[in-house]
Amino acid sequence: MVERRPRLEGKVAIVTGAGAQGTVMGNGKAVSILFAREGAKVLLVDRVEERARDTWEAIRGEGGTASVYAADVTGEEQCRGMVEAAVERYGGVDILHNNVGVNGPGSVVEVSREEWDRVMAINLTSMMLTSRHAIPHMAAAGGGAIINVSSISAIRPRGMTSYTVSKAGVIALTQAMAIDHAKDGIRVNCILPGPAYTSMVAGGMSEDTRELRRRASPLRVEGNSWDVAWAAVYLAGDEARWVTGVALPVDGGVTLDSPRR
């Protein structure tokens, strides 16, 4: 019988977008809960404080350690403050999980310039800003793990061009940071979730669409936020010590398959 220690025991994690819109479980919320179950102290960052507070209550109810930090990660000073809060409250930053992301519908003809810039700022520039403030603390402590949430949309476009481009940028950012900061012992990886049933997409989705998304997987299994969160636990922990610069699809095989009847 193998008894194991919690995978993230003694580590400090920042999760951005740690709350969830609506009532269905979200990726950021599930990651925060699993990180805390695995022994990490978690700083729950969200633009909407009460959403992060909901996640905090779930973690507190299980006896985990977490606290809320309200911030918009598109603002550099707020990113700096977020990292300083983790250092002050918990003594450092070992894990940065960049989960914040929003949809960006439309082609280049349809999208407005303002909307394009907004999607890039939230989905891509925010990850550069959070990372640039976390990395010096990680490097000073001898290393760390950064996980960026991209999307299969980055490699399989579907009429959401600003979203696709921002998420493809997340893959490039991940690879560039993995090379730039390997010498500091910092691993940087990204996750490409597929059509999972999560807080971000559940609002207003018909049962027919939900079923179509389930059937898109050759496994014929509906994915959810816990599937995405377990991948993050692996990438955050020391079991992934030799893994950096990867773009891991968590999509039930969707990107390998062609539409079938």
Ligand X SMILES: NC(=O)c1ccc[n+]([C@@H]2O[C@H](COP(=O)([O-])OP(=O)(O)OC[C@H]3O[C@@H](n4cnc5c(N)ncnc54)[C@H](O)[C@@H]3O)[C@@H](O)[C@H]2O)c1
Pick from 15, 59, 82, 99 the residue near ligand X by CB under 6 A: 99
100 or 178: CB nearest ligand X: 100
* 100 sits near ligand X (criterion: CB under 6 A): yes
* 74 sits near ligand X (criterion: CB under 6 A): yes
* 249 sits near ligand X (criterion: CB under 6 A): no
183, exposed or middle or buried, with CB in 10 Å at 0-12, 13-18, 19+?
exposed
- Neighbouring CB atoms inside 10 A of 190's CB total 27
26 or 252: CB nearest ligand X: 26
Can 69 be counted among the known catalytic residues? no
| Window contacting ligand X (CB under 6 A); options: 32-40, 96-104, 106-114, 241-249 | 96-104
Task: Considering only residues 205 through 234, tell me which ones interact with ligand X, judged by CB under 6 A.
Answer: 225
Task: Considering only residues 42 through 71, tell me which ones interact with ligand X, judged by CB under 6 A.
Answer: 46-48, 51
* 36 sits near ligand X (criterion: CB under 6 A): no
Alpha-carbon Rg for the chain in angstroms: 18
* 28 sits near ligand X (criterion: CB under 6 A): yes
Which residues, at least 6 apart from 28, have a Cβ–Cβ distance to it below 8 Å? 15, 16, 17, 18, 19, 20, 46, 55, 97, 99, 100
Which residues, at least 6 apart from 113, have a Cβ–Cβ distance to it below 8 Å? none
- E-state strands within the chain: 12-16, 41-46, 65-70, 95-98, 144-149, 186-193, 247-250
Question: Binding residues for ligand X, per CB under 6 A?
Answer: 16-17, 19-21, 26-28, 46-48, 51, 72-74, 99-101, 122, 149, 151, 193, 195-196, 198-201, 225
